[in-house]
A and B are shown apart, each in its own frame.
Chain A
Amino acid sequence: GQQLNQSPQSMFIQEGEDVSMNCTSSSIFNTWLWYKQDPGEGPVLLIALYKAGELTSNGRLTAQFGITRKDSFLNISASIPSDVGIYFCAGRHGSSNTGKLIFGQGTTLQVKP
């Protein structure tokens, strides 16, 4: 099955730094979602995007739906230790009305206090 290409695979940063990660696909999506997974728990939805070019914020997090509808990025500003976890992008195809989601491989974020 198709997968999204998510990068980077992992990041180790200093507290206070900004973080950027992205996802790309070979096909068009009509929905992009970003999730965070804390250690030992299931993923939690952070941001949902529905329109090409859409830019949405959730506190220190900002995500954008790429103009081509084949990519999305997530930025975290002024990182703090509790930002540690795995971040996943997920997308739904434009032609799909089944609700099927495709996930990226995840970006593991570690923050050094």
Chain B
Amino acid sequence: EAQVTQNPRYLITVTGKKLTVTCSQNMNHEYMSWYRQDPGLGLRQIYYSMNVEVTDKGDVPEGYKVSRKEKRNFPLILESPSPNQTSLYFCASTPRAFSGRVADNEQFFGPGTRLTVL
């Protein structure tokens, strides 16, 4: 089954304790992205990756790191989490970095990770 998986689904942690949220897709997609969703703000892009070893900042990258060593995995790293990073996080993948072909724009989202930083 084609899917995007995220782990963990729920996490409660304390300020300053490094954590990693994993994201994996089994569709051989080139483009992957991380978003955070906050009430009233919609989805805001944190980082994205056009392909292996190619990553770039989105709109709200402060306090986050990513890596793309393999095509299927795109982990999100919080080196020193703070309470303002409490949010719902989504990983997404797309066949390519958006083209005129409808199929290339099908962005598959993971189930989400609800993170609470105390």
Which A residues are within 8 Å of any B CB, using their own CB? 1-4, 6, 9, 31, 33, 35, 40-45, 48, 50, 88, 90, 92, 97-106
Which B residues are within 8 Å of any A CB, using their own CB? 4, 31, 33, 35, 40-45, 48, 50, 56, 58-60, 90, 92, 94, 96-98, 100, 102, 105-107, 109-112
Tell me the total A-B contact number using a CB cutoff of 8 A.
75
What are 28 contact pairs spanning A and B, CB under 8 A? A4-B42, A9-B40, A31-B105, A33-B107, A35-B107, A40-B111, A42-B4, A42-B109, A42-B112, A43-B43, A43-B107, A45-B107, A48-B102, A48-B105, A50-B100, A88-B42, A97-B97, A98-B50, A99-B48, A99-B96, A100-B45, A100-B48, A101-B33, A103-B35, A103-B42, A103-B43, A106-B42, A106-B43
Max chain A CB contacts within 10 Å: which of B4, B60, B98, B100?
Answer: B98
Assembly CA distance A97 to B102 (angstroms): 16
Q: Which residues of B contact A50 (CB under 8 A)?
A: 100
Assembly CA distance A101 to B42 (angstroms): 12
Max chain B CB contacts within 10 Å: which of A50, A101, A104?
Answer: A101
